[in-house]
Structure formats: C-alpha cells, structure tokens
Amino acid sequence: MASYPSFSVDQILSNPNAVNPWLLEAKPFTQKRELPSVAAIYFVLRADEILYSGSSINLRKRWNGSGHRISQLIVDRPLENEIQLTWLRCQGNQRLYLQNMEMALIRGLDPLLNKTFKRTKNK
C-alpha cells in the first residue's frame, strides 16, 4: 500500500502551502464512483493547476451526488479525461475542522474556481 503525506489540523492552519495536492491519494475524475467514503479535504487538478478545493464528511457521496457544481462544470466541457481528484484523509468527521482546513488551503493555494464560485455566490 502506498504511503501518503499526513498533516495535523494545526500544520494545515499554520502552513497550508506545505500540502502538495499532487502527492496525495488520487483518482481520475472518470473514476469518481470509486472514491473512498472518508472525511477529506479534496482537490480538483488539471495538469499543473489546482482548479478547486473543498471538504466533505463523505468524499464518495459528495462527488457522486447531484449537487456538486464542479462535477456539473466538468461534464459541460470535454475535460473529464484531464481532471484528477486528490484528497487528504481527515480523522473523524468534525465539520468545523474540515471547514477551517478547507478555508486555510483555499487562501494558501488559491484554486482557480474557488474564486469564481465565491464571486458568483455573493452576487
């Protein structure tokens, strides 16, 4: 079994740039049905670009439900084969910890579509 980096909540909150999304567990977007049912911070990657970052108490349900806007965006474009989903498993399912880590990573890593969705959401 492969070994992936792990981080404490404090490590992520104090230094989000220490997280390299390309070194985490990963699946192609086309295999999203095979994602694990774990609490996680996740990333949507394309080549050398971080498109989006989010968090979920259940990664599989988050990506296989009907409500994820990123999933809808990717289906609308011929990008499916270029997209990689990566994730950092989180202990427990403390929503507040997940949200705090997610926000720190968004601020530190500056994913392209988090800005777009935030602007759209606040209109």
- pLDDT tens digits, residue range 6-43? 888 888 999 999 999 999 999 998 899 999 999 999 99
Taken in order of first residue, the domains within the chain and their CATH numbers are 9-118 (3.40.1440.10)
- pLDDT tens digits, residue range 76-104? 556 777 889 999 998 766 788 899 999 99
CA 54 to chain CA mean position, Å: 4
CA angle (43, 49, 52) in 5-degree steps: 35
Helix spans in 2-123 (H): 9-14, 59-64, 69-76, 95-109, 112-122
Is the pLDDT at 109 greater than 90? The verdict is: yes
Q: When comparing pLDDT for 5 and 66, which is higher?
A: 5
